[in-house]
Amino acid sequence: MRVLVVEDERVLADAIATGLRREAMAADVAYDGAAALEKIGYIDYDVIVLDRDLPKVHGDEVARRLVAQRSASRIIMLTAAGDVDDKVEGLGLGADDYLAKPFVFVELVARVRALGRRSAPPLPPVLERAGVRLDPGKRLVMRDGREVSLTKKEFAVLEELMRAEGAVVSQEDLLDKAWDEHIDPFTNVVRVTMMTLRKKLGDPPIIETVPGVGYRL
């Protein structure tokens, strides 16, 4: 899942992004509304965590432009303005959810995951393919009845392959969904992750490398 955190309090923004990355999400950060609009212009985000009181371009205007562009990104407004009127106004601007500061981080994670499920095409809550059963909610992977222990990045890569339902997934798409914007596009991190994932899933191999194109499960 690709998430954009838009928050002008840099310490808070970086802390949120770091926490989301630990939950196997690819999280980018923008510290003002103009930077957010720039990133949104070339990256398709599943969820945008949007502060309202932003410099340069107000958060309300960011939300309006996303709605006007018919963006598929889901918006959760994260702001100190938490009374009922503020929530109603924020939702009226096009936000899908609203969470007032201070907040409990696990609740934010749960809300981001819920919005991410809405932004994706409807899929079964548990994914199954080639003898592999992946439960995103429980973060559990089984192969032929055997539990497979994966790192968060391995889990994210496997989930993207399973969601593709047999289609080829490029290295660029995997980098986009499982890592953030700071990853070097020429890195071998996908190849290394794929090697360890294949080893953990065991024989017979079920992840195919399509030369020059990507990977397929």
pLDDT tens, position by position, 115-172: 987 766 555 578 999 999 999 878 899 999 999 999 988 999 999 999 998 999 998 8
Euclidean distance between CA atoms 90 and 25, whole angstroms:
25
Closest CA to 73 of 176, 147, 13, 2: 2
Compute the average pLDDT of residues 194-207.
94
Give the residue among 85, 22, 19 at the shortest CA–CA distance from 52: 85
The mean pLDDT of 175-188, rounded to a whole number, is: 76
Question: CA angle, 216 as apex, 213 and 217 as ends, to 5°?
Answer: 175
Residues 14-50 pLDDT 10s: 999 999 998 888 899 999 999 999 999 988 899 999 9
The predicted pLDDT at position 186 comes to 66
User: If pLDDT is split at 50, 70 and 90, which confidence band does 185 have?
Assistant: low
pLDDT at res. 119: 65
| DSSP assignment string, 98-159 | EEESS--HHHHHHHHHHHHHHHSPP--SSEEETTEEEETTTTEEEETTEE----HHHHHHHH
Cα–Cα distances (Å) from 114 to 10, 75, 182, in that order, read: 25, 11, 25
